[in-house]
Structure 1
Amino acid sequence: MLSMENQFVPGLLVLTILAFTGGLIIIFGYLIRFERRGHLINGYKETNYTNADKYLDRIGMTLLLSGFVFLIIGVAVLIFRIHEWVFASATIISIGCMFTSLFYNERRFRIKK
């Protein structure tokens, strides 16, 4: 484990990776929520969902919030110089929450056959 004085360069690397990932997730969420690009979702057809507009709203908002959380975690690593295990835990928890929300909305709005 690195000392607190030597964490700037690894923190900058973590910030770069999370900022890039968070930015892509934010762009993806924006396209789904506001531009109504449902075709970006694998297997999406309006006929497969009970309320397709609400589904796109929720999926887009989930992705937007997850992207901002990734950015906040990256900035916190650099500014507050948090330890690696705290950063890893926060990242894993945020990814878990994102996938839980995505799968919940998929099951809720999908038409049962």
Structure 2
Amino acid sequence: MIINGTPISKICDFTGLSARDVYTKIDFIHDRVIDITARREGLFEQVDWTKVGRRFATDSQTLQLNWPNKKTRAQIAVHHLCTAHANTGYIMAAHVGLDPVMELPDIEA
């Protein structure tokens, strides 16, 4: 439900859990993701690149995000470019085409 953008209050209604319990579960999942990522990233230096190959895949996506200003509600398109090793899945490079210095009126003009 969190991935689908369901508000915490609706999750509480649907599951019968209190908000504290929902946040506790979110914290638990976050801790597990950090543990798994740390173990996986710790193995990066041990990869034998001659065995796993040198094939990479690059993908580009346009993400629709809310403008980071509470006064103005607008969506902006952010371009995301990512390159991953095809056999191991390690992300080798990622870039978000967002200039945080730009202001909405300048963009609209």
Instruction: Mark yes or no: TM-score above 0.5.
Output: no
Larger proportion of strand: 2
Q: Highest Rg: 1 or 2?
A: 2
TM-score (norm 2): 0.32
Larger proportion of helix: 1
Higher relative contact order (CA 8 A, sep 6+): 1
